[in-house]
């Protein structure tokens, strides 16, 4: 069983047929829509957010067809699928991706890989005093970062490679359920060109989707381990010293928040920013999700909040239409706002 299949099965289990199958596709792609962000929180799927940005819709459809053929899932209605008894059985025995943390790491997983791969290449060549080689990464920002970082390291350059190797070796040695080869085979060094994802998957006899998910999981393991032991992995910690996890709001939402704090109403903000009011409402959903003390009382009175929460819990549903059918006085926006504020509590 490949990891991508277990992830999709797990998501379907969480969704309980309340969203279409493509909500999972958007989740894996890391789509920055209000709906996808809210689903990630409401259905406890944040760990999968943005972990497979290169997954195409065509490939996703093929995986879904395969799951149907295996009788692990079955069609329900309106692009919705549910787990079969066999699918539930398979999921219960699937391996868990313990370190996968898409929500926390999706913004800088790629940057971490670019820095790691270039850092390993450069330090490897420094050991052998080789100055003539093509950088494995073309991103100019990564080159600027490397030059600045090398100046800050008070270690003889010829010794850096051994220190990096030692830290990586120690980091992976402590890992349970992590296969270092998913990352190591991709690394370029002195007279050694790293493999492509497809080449690595073939070498390890893995499905390409399984490999891509495993590769991201391994990087997340490194991010997790190094960030918690910066003194132990002092060189590797330099690769992530400027990573920020605190601000989860999108750039557009931050602009709306600034105007909201100045006393602008929603329709005024929409006019000033030349956006639809529904877009501004989406930003408020983000605030309710990410800002702990953000009050929604101005948009939904407390009595209405309580009724919506009670309906959601008693009916055991997060489907907006079903909730609104039971409570006509609430708008879809008000229901979404309450669910964003209290939905995962």
Question: How many C-beta atoms lie closer than 10 Å to residue 67's C-beta?
Answer: 23
- What is the per-residue DSSP string for 97-130? -TT--HHHHTTTHHHHHHHHHHHHHHHHHHHTT-
- Domains 3-96 and 251-342 equal at CATH topology level: yes
CA distance 24 to 45: 9
Note the pLDDT of residue 187. 97
Residue 74 in 3-state DSSP? strand
16: left (phi over 0), alpha (psi -120 to 50) or beta: left
At the topology level, CATH places domain 251-342 in Arc Repressor Mutant, subunit A (1.10.10)
Q: HSE, CB side, 13 Å, CA atoms: give it for residue 242.
A: 7
- Which residue from 135, 170, 133, 163 is spatially nearest to 238, judged by alpha carbons? 163
Task: Check if the beta carbon of residue 159 is closer than 8 Å to that of residue 129.
Answer: no
Residue 331 in 3-state DSSP? coil
* Tokens 């929180």 belong to residue: 41
Note the pLDDT of residue 319. 83
- What is the per-residue DSSP string for 238-277? GGGTT---S--S-HHHHHHHHHHHTT--HHHHHHHHT--H
Task: Check if the beta carbon of residue 330 is closer than 8 Å to that of residue 308.
Answer: yes
Q: From first to last of the 345 residues of the chain, give the pLDDT tens digit.
A: 568 999 999 999 999 999 999 999 999 999 988 889 889 988 999 999 999 999 999 999 999 999 999 999 999 988 999 999 999 999 999 888 999 999 989 989 999 999 999 999 999 999 998 889 999 999 999 999 999 999 989 888 888 999 999 999 999 997 888 999 999 999 999 999 999 999 999 999 999 999 999 999 999 999 999 999 999 999 999 999 888 655 567 788 889 999 999 999 999 999 999 999 999 999 999 899 888 889 999 999 999 999 999 998 888 888 888 899 999 999 999 999 999 888 765
> Per CATH, is 3-96 categorized as 1.10.10.10?
yes
Tokens of 175: 């890992």
Angle at 33 between CA 27 and CA 38, to 5 degrees: 70
Name 82's bridge partners.
74
CA distance 3 to 207: 9
- Domain ranges in the chain are 3-96, 109-240, 251-342
Alpha-carbon Rg for the chain in angstroms: 23
Question: How many C-beta atoms lie closer than 10 Å to residue 159's C-beta?
Answer: 12
Distance of CA 94 to the CA centre of its chain: 20
Is the Cα torsion angle 21, 23, 28, 29 positive or negative in sign? Answer: positive
Is the Cα torsion angle 17, 20, 22, 23 positive or negative in sign? Answer: negative
């Amino acid at each position: 069983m490949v990891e991508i299949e277990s992830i999709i099965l797990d998501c379907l289990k969480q969704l309980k047929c309340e969203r279409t199958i493509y909500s999972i596709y958007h989740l894996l792609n890391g789509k920055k829509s209000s709906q996808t962000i809210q689903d990630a929180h409401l259905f406890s799927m944040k760990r999968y957010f943005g972990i497979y940005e290169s997954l195409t819709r065509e490939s996703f459809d093929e995986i879904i067809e395969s799951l149907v053929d295996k009788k692990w899932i079955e069609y329900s209605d309106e692009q919705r699928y549910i787990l079969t008894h066999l699918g539930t059985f398979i999921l219960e025995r699937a391996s868990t991706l313990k370190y996968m943390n898409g929500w926390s790491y999706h913004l800088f997983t790629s940057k971490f890989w670019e820095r790691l791969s270039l850092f390993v290449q450069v330090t490897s060549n420094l050991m052998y005093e080789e100055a003539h080689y093509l950088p494995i990464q073309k991103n100019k920002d990564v080159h600027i970062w490397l030059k600045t970082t090398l100046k800050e390291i008070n270690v003889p350059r010829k010794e850096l490679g051994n220190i990096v190797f030692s830290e990586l070796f120690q980091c992976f040695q402590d890992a349970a359920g992590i296969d270092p080869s998913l990352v190591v085979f991709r690394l370029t060094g002195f007279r050694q060109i790293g493999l492509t994802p497809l080449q690595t998957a073939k070498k390890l006899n893995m499905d390409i989707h399984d490999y891509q998910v495993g590769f991201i999981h391994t990087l997340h393991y490194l991010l997790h381990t190094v960030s918690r032991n910066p003194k132990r992995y002092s060189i590797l910690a330099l690769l992530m010293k400027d990573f920020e996890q605190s601000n989860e709001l999108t750039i557009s939402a931050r602009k709306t928040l600034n105007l909201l704090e100045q006393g602008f109403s929603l329709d005024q903000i929409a006019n000033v920013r030349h956006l639809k009011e529904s877009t501004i409402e989406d930003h408020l959903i983000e605030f309710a999700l990410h800002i702990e003390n953000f009050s929604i009382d101005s948009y939904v009175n407390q009595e209405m909040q309580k009724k919506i929460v009670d309906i959601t819990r008693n009916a055991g549903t997060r489907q907006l239409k079903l909730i609104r059918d039971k409570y006509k006085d609430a708008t879809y926006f008000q229901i979404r706002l309450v669910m964003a504020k209290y939905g995962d509590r």
